[in-house]
Structure 1
Amino acid sequence: MSSVAPLHSPRYDTARLQACGDDVFISANVEIRRPQLVRVGSHVAIDSGLYLTTAATIGDYTHLGPYLTVIGGAQSTLLVEDFVTIAAGSRLICGSDRFGGEGLTSVTVPEAFRDAVELGTIRCARFAGIGTNAVVLPNVTIGEGSVIGACALVTADTEPWTIYVGVPARPVKARPRAKMQEYARRLGYLIE
């Protein structure tokens, strides 16, 4: 029997989302700029301070920690698969100016005068984890079971079941998978 008291914090109005599963807690202290482009699975917790400007799909048994920033606008996407954790303070940059000097930088500048913009998708595959204050750049896939260490900078796709640290992020260790996959099977998920 658990002795942990249930949370009674104010909650975000999930009816604003495109879709939302069961057993979901989203803090009232979040800013989801385009809720009609956001789908949330079941057994999800999204803590205070999330700032989300992109389309997003959030899988089952997922936790998005406090003060997470996901930017890139309506033409960019965040895909978070099942059993993923993204820790406090991380920055997922799904779209950004390239800052190459081809034009002015800022979403407030008319498009004819803007620098080149990179828009895309960040995908966090099943069982992935992103440590606190990590930064992930546009068009990166965090591979299945891959973990990104605290304060790392991810500029390229990561290999499955590998731990990455540093700036830029580099692989340092393999991560075991059997127990996590077995637990997911026991929860009713098909795992290859």
Structure 2
Amino acid sequence: MSFYTIEELEKLGFNKLGDNVSISKKASIYGHGRISIGNNTRIDDFVVLSAGEGGIEIGENVHIAIYSSLIGSGKIQLSNFSNISSRVSIYSSNDDYSGGAMTNPTIPPCYTNVSHQDVYIGKHVIIGCGCVVLPGVQVKDGVAVGALSLVNTDCKEWSIYVGNPIKKIKERKKDLLKLEVKYKE
């Protein structure tokens, strides 16, 4: 994987750029000035970051894997130690599917009814391969979401969710919090 150098990243004009950031040269990034990225973060090939008015805020020690996308006008926040697996789509904007309005970005806004809501991904969250996260969702600290799940509702802390739509299947262990302390030492 070919990553931008720090000098190249600084020229792109991010709102905030931490230390030890690795972004693939094959990632597509729109709205650099509305994107903040924390220390020790990695963004892989073919990731799409499209920051609308709310922007995208990526914490420290975050990994966004290949073919994932973060798109929309609402704010998307990925907290420290969160992990977005491959082919995950996180949306903070959504077309009106009811038929009461037209859809797609080639149509002027006066004919559409797009909704925008912030999305929050907490600390130590892992979202499995192929998941879709819809606007307005809060995935609280410590949540694990299994592959191919539809995240259409808020997720309670330290829980494991799976399915389409998601449902909680059990509590998640908190052992990793001890490892976080050791890592920070």
TM-score (norm 1): 0.88
Cα distance in 2 for partners of 1:109, 1:158 equals 34
Number of corresponding residues: 178
Instruction: Give the 3-state SS of the residue equivalent to 1:105 in structure 2.
Output: coil
The CA RMSD measured in Å over matched residues stands at 1.5
**Quick one: which of 87, 90, 93 aligns to 2:91?**
93
Letter in 1 for 2:75: T
Cα distance in 2 for partners of 1:188, 1:134 equals 30
Q: Please report how far the alpha carbon of residue 186 of structure 1 lies from its aligned counterpart in structure 2 after TM superposition.
A: 3.2
Q: 1:4 matched to which residue of 2?
A: none
Cα distance in 2 for partners of 1:111, 1:20 equals 33
2:177 is the counterpart of 1:181: yes
Cα distance in 2 for partners of 1:62, 1:10 equals 16
TM-score (norm 2): 0.91
Cα distance in 2 for partners of 1:91, 1:173 equals 24
Deviations along 1:120-168, one digit per CA (max 9) or x if unpaired, are 1111100101000001100101111001100000100001100101100
Cα distance in 2 for partners of 1:187, 1:131 equals 23
Q: 2:4 matched to which residue of 1?
A: 11
Letter in 1 for 2:65: G
Deviations along 1:76-102, one digit per CA (max 9) or x if unpaired, are 221000011000001111101121222
Instruction: Give the 3-state SS of the residue equivalent to 1:181 in structure 2.
Output: helix
2:62 is the counterpart of 1:62: yes
Q: Which runs of 5+ in 1 are unaligned?
A: 1-6
Instruction: Give the 3-state SS of the residue equivalent to 2:130 in structure 1.
Output: coil
Cα distance in 2 for partners of 1:155, 1:141 equals 9
Cα distance in 2 for partners of 1:184, 1:32 equals 30
Q: 1:77 matched to which residue of 2?
A: 75
Letter in 2 for 1:184: E
Instruction: Give the 3-state SS of the residue equivalent to 2:76 in structure 1.
Output: strand
Instruction: Give the 3-state SS of the residue equivalent to 1:176 in structure 2.
Output: coil
2:128 is the counterpart of 1:131: yes
Q: Please report how far the alpha carbon of residue 188 of structure 1 lies from its aligned counterpart in structure 2 after TM superposition.
A: 4.0
Cα distance in 2 for partners of 1:108, 1:76 equals 19
Deviations along 1:50-83, one digit per CA (max 9) or x if unpaired, are 11212211111110000001221xx322100001
Letter in 2 for 1:23: N
Cα distance in 2 for partners of 1:120, 1:63 equals 23
Cα distance in 2 for partners of 1:120, 1:138 equals 5
Runs of 4+ in 1 over 6 A off after TM superposition: none
- Provide closer, same or farther for how the CA distance between residues 41 and 10 of structure 1 changes in structure 2, counting only shifts above 3 A: closer
The sequence identity of aligned pairs, in percent, is 26
Cα distance in 2 for partners of 1:139, 1:14 equals 30
Letter in 1 for 2:70: V
